Amino acid sequence: MITEQWGARWIRGLAGGVIAVAAVAAVAGCDAPPPPEPAPRPTAAARADRPTQPTQPTAEPCPDGGVRLVEMDGNAAMGLRVADFRLVNCGAQPYVLEGYPQLSLRDDRNGPVEVAVEHGTAGITTGVPDIEEAPGQVTLAPGQAASFAIVWRNLVTDSSVPATTARSVEVEPRPGAPRLSLRLSAPVDLGNTGKLGLGPWRPVVR
């Protein structure tokens, strides 16, 4: 009998312990901190600080007429000047050149510069084969280029005649074609000679 009473008390004690543990666990669960919130998404300002992918440079538009004039490297020695120019066919059709371009000069106010443009070296110098070359026909496929050169001397032979300097050139590639104007990085400093030698169109061989 004593054994049965002791066993009943042991079972009731065990059940009470289980209930107490469950209660403690429930209280502990109520006091547990909530799970962390997700990280905030970047704001517009933060996204703006991120490096962006470089954009591709936009291609220079092809001028009316389908060709573009480019200034090339020149040469200067002992007052003698030689400048080279290139005409690039940026259009979709073949472009035919023949003989010499029509060329005029402009000052820093875009006013005309009085100068006698003559074919060849015109007594200015000797030994410039590109300028003394015989003229001919040059056909440019799309993407191809032709060139011409000019020569002059930077001399002041008469102090009473003002020296002139051209800051731009205007070129008519062939009769009736739109004229191309180009601001020069290296000006044409004629002094007071008033004379310029012009070479013919030549194909550019790559």
Closest by CA to 132, choosing from 77, 82, 197, 81, is 197
147 CB neighbour count, 10 Å cutoff: 19
Q: What is the pLDDT of residues 83-122, one digit of tens each?
A: 999 999 999 999 999 999 999 999 999 999 999 999 999 7
| Residue 26 falls in which region: left (phi positive, over 0), alpha (psi -120 to 50) or beta | alpha
> Which residue has better confidence, 180 or 158?
180
Q: What is the mean pLDDT of residues 66-77?
A: 89
The alpha carbon of 112 is separated from its chain's Cα centroid by a whole number of angstroms, namely 30
| Residue 202 falls in which region: left (phi positive, over 0), alpha (psi -120 to 50) or beta | beta
- Which tokens hold the place of 38? 């997700």
Pairing of strands 102-106, 180-191: unpaired
Q: For residue 55, what pLDDT is reported?
A: 56
Task: Give the residue carrying structure tokens 């044409």.
Answer: 188
> Which residue has better confidence, 205 or 67?
67
Q: For residue 161, what pLDDT is reported?
A: 86
**In angstroms, rounded to a whole number, what is the distance separating the alpha carbons of residues 41 and 157?**
76
Q: What is the mean pLDDT of residues 19-47?
A: 48
Residue 16 phi, psi dihedral angles, 5° rounding: -65, -35
| Residue 13 falls in which region: left (phi positive, over 0), alpha (psi -120 to 50) or beta | alpha
Sign of CA dihedral 162, 167, 173, 177: negative
- Which tokens hold the place of 147? 């060139």
**In angstroms, rounded to a whole number, what is the distance separating the alpha carbons of residues 61 and 180?**
14
How high does pLDDT run on average in the chain?
80
Task: Give the global pTM.
Answer: 0.70
> Which residue has better confidence, 157 or 132?
132
**In angstroms, rounded to a whole number, what is the distance separating the alpha carbons of residues 187 and 167?**
5
> Which residue has better confidence, 27 or 131?
131
- In eight-state DSSP terms, residue 61 is P
Pairing of strands 164-172, 202-203: unpaired
Whole-number percent of the chain with pLDDT over 70: 71
Q: Which residues pair with 149 in a beta bridge?
A: 84
The alpha carbon of 70 is separated from its chain's Cα centroid by a whole number of angstroms, namely 14
